[in-house]
Amino acid sequence: SLRAHTTDGNPLFVEESLKMILHSDMVRDTGTRYEAVEQFTEQGIPHTLQGSLMARLDNLGECKQLAQLAAIAGRRFDADLLLKVSRLQKDVFDLQLRQLIEADLILPVDPDNQEYQFRHALLQDIAYQSLLRSKRREFHQRFAEILESDYAERISQRPEVLARHYAEAASPEKAIPLWHQAREMAIRRS
């Protein structure tokens, strides 16, 4: 059993640690219950929630990059935009998206509008932080370019989204005017 000091009473950490054990070689599903295959210790269990989440992310295989791209988009994201940014074939994208749902990393929020979100903000943070800074910039740039070209109407209502991507892509010359536009819109709304 997991001791309280290992999970520090954090429900998400308890859940993640149990998922890791259940999907490992340490237990066997008999159909009615789980049985230990062998005596195991807590050695194979990450000692931090971040370690546990990183281990889950690393076990995704080809889906890991899609999870990382989704993290660039934000906690909640649009599948159509993610498909364009990923540059994956539609059938490969759909398969990987399904695998992320089955891995319980993302949830459909509004399936009719193809909107999804990370099950927990920490999952998004871990996926985002697992990218090299240069890759993050590249992906933010890709998001910005696609948002600007294909989602102009949406961006006209929320220029701060495009500004954030340009800022993270190290393009302050494009981000600053958008931040000003977002500020002016916020002042008018208030």
Query: Residue 40: which pLDDT band, with cuts at 50, 70 and 90?
Result: very low
CA atoms within 13 A on the CB side of 105: 27
What percentage of residues in the chain have a pLDDT greater than 90? 60
Q: Are 9 and 45 in contact (CB under 8 A)?
A: no
**pLDDT of 2:** 42
Mind giving me the DSSP string for 108-172? Answer: EEEGGGTEEEESSHHHHHHHHHTS-HHHHHHHHHHHHHHHHHH-HHHHHH-HHHHHHHHHHTT-H
Q: Tell me the pLDDT tens digit for each residue of 159-170.
A: 999 999 999 999
Question: Who wins on pLDDT, 58 or 68?
Answer: 68
- Confidence class for position 69, pLDDT limits 50, 70, 90: very high
What letters, b where the CB count within 10 A reaches 16 and e where it falls short, cover 149-183? eebeeebeeebbbbbbbbbbbebeebbeebbebbe
For the chain, what is the radius of gyration of the CA atoms?
Answer: 20
Q: What is the value of pTM for the model shown?
A: 0.73
User: For position 35, what pLDDT does the model report?
Assistant: 56
Please tell me the predicted confidence (pLDDT) of residue 117: 96
Which pLDDT tens digit goes with each residue over 97-128? 999 999 889 999 997 889 999 998 888 999 99
Among 151, 163, 159, 155, which residue's Cα sits nearest to residue 185?
A: 159
